[in-house]
Chains A and B, each alone.
Chain A
Amino acid sequence: MTTASLRTETYLWLAQRISAIVLAVCVVVHLTTMIVAVQGGLSAQEIIARIGGNKLWLVYYLVFVAAVAIHAPLGLKTVLREMTALPIKRIELLVGLFAIGVAALGFRAAFGLYGLGGS
């Protein structure tokens, strides 16, 4: 049913729990910021003005992206294991690619926004 060792399975389980804790904080910050920011209307310029060139926001989004890239693929792995008849190796390949995709797109967006603003 699985190719990972019990120790690896436990580490991955723990990684999903820890990333969930990080996400709980990140999502609250993200939603609060959105609600506050949207008051004056939302535009690309406004987002770039707030986030661009700001090292604190860059670090925040890098952590956020890393947590998503860890948490979501592990959840997807469980969903695919339980809901499909796909062999476990195929599932691990799929979620591995998904993790790389999420991380690549997320980090690109975070660095991209950072690079667009500031002095």
Chain B
Amino acid sequence: MILDSKTPSGPLAEKWTNHKFNVKLVNPANKRKYEIIVVGTGLAGASAAASLAELGYNVKAFCFQDSPRRAHSIAAQGGINAAKNYQNDGDSVFRLFYDTVKGGDYRSREANVYRLAEVSVNIIDQCVAQGVPFAREYGGLLANRSFGGAQVSRTFYARGQTGQQLLLGAYSALSRQVANGKVKLFPRTEMLDVVIIDGKAQGIVTRNLITGTIESHSAHAVLLCTGGYGNVFFLSTNAMGSNVTAAWRAHKKGAYFANPCYTQIHPTCIPVSGDHQSKLTLMSESLRNDGRVWVPKTVEIAEKLRKKEIKPADIPDEDRDYYLENKYPSFGNLVPRDVASRNAKYVCDEGRGVNETGEAVFLDFRDAILRDGEDLVRSKYGNLFDMYHQITGENPYKTPMMIYPAVHYTMGGLWVDYNLMTTIPGLYALGEANFSDHGANRLGASALMQGLADGYFVIPYTVGNYLATQPYDKPSEDHPAFKQSEEEVKEKLERLLSIKGEKTVDYYHKKLGKIMWNYCGMARSADGLAKAKSMIKELKEEFWTNVRVLGTEEELNQSLEKANRVADFLELGELMIDDALNRNESCGGHFREEYQTPEGEALRDDENYAYVAAWEYKGENQDEQLHKEELVFENVKLTQRSYK
């Protein structure tokens, strides 16, 4: 199969406008004859479900949480980018586009990114109209702040809870459509398979998490808005329930998985404190606006710190290494995430880490508090400081925060064309679940932008183009394809319950996470990856013979839910490693130790690797087949990324 991105022809700035004119329309009276399934109710899912219902389609929305409002978009802190140029500082749609492609280390599709930048301005308007209480200036207009990877202030925010406010906005729009009867909501329901009939996605099979009932739902189109797969690392900033299962089951049914090795390690997270740790907490990147990142200049001083013989405040400025400011004078502490994370790893690898484990650097607000006063700092970051205080027991107004990189976001995901359709007709992927907009590294405040762009402003146009060619009739849920899928799903659950082994699901998940973090994390090498691959193979085998899942299928059974998800993570882990091994270059979040510049920056190989790696599932324990979508850059000049 040849991957056709279906990117419209014509000049970059006119592609989307032309495409919107050229797509087929479904007449308003006919929209009610179509049913669309939306899986996931985060920013992408909730905004898509609401917008499609407003247009007149019948929507079924599914989430595994007890309420759509709890999807993990809610935890996004810092902000959302938009090329409004309200600050008169030289921003434009083209600049946002350019920054995003460059930030992604030139591994994203130009046309998609341009469209993203283009609709970014509409998102802010939409959210304000819904009553999202963005931060404002005294004159009553919207406030902005700057974020990593950009030299303009284009980030809109609602204190450190921007994701929450945007999601509650989308959730309110969704709730209105539930009340209107246009959206039927299925909380605590997990999608376990997508059903393909006549080569098209025609529905899904789900498990009711309370009763355990396996059910089929047929539809004319299926939208996967199911987020990323960062929990393959066990420890990440993702929610505990975030999982790859929906996307992975679609992959096994024929949807290609693109660039799985592109994972983002966020530089500002609270360091790991012990083996009991279940998740990592992000400290918003916005903190890097005012906080200064440093470690001691020498290993000796760092050792004294680790032994608690001295306090951070005892170290005079001349003994501090503000390494980001020194190395990247023009971007300073605001370098993109991949660069900031890698440098934190370097200084800690040198033995200059500042906490007991040696895996932490300081994020210091001393100078900001001296300059602006504690009150102003509190008004900007109060909730983040409180959160830090609660988790660590230390007061960041008095002593510098300690931070370390952690897995945060996955740029890879299901391959989609310009219309956000996967390689299965009628199956779409939106938001973090797809691969399309962030290349090999996502810039801060761009995830919220992409989720809402896809849901509010892209899918309402592109899904119509497909549905307009589809008959109104849809297959019955008694169709043999649904029955077969239900059987397969049940069989898998029964198999997990029947193993009755020795070790818990978390035991395997933690082991998998350690392998992924050590060999497929911030730095990767061919040897390490090869080793990791065989380790995962072994682990997978052991999992399927020795995992212990208690209880039954016909009840709320959280161990069974977890086991089912971890089984998919084990398979995904292998594919991530294959992808990382295949990509013999470094780009963005994918850093292969063999490929670096003399300064230790990522060294791309544009000649051989300027493509999207899209993987096709070939069956149980078979190697997947690689398909390439060549990336064409007509508007951006590929250069060695420099933030100096």
| Bound pair (A, B) | no
Query: Which A residues are within 8 Å of any B CB, using their own CB?
Result: none
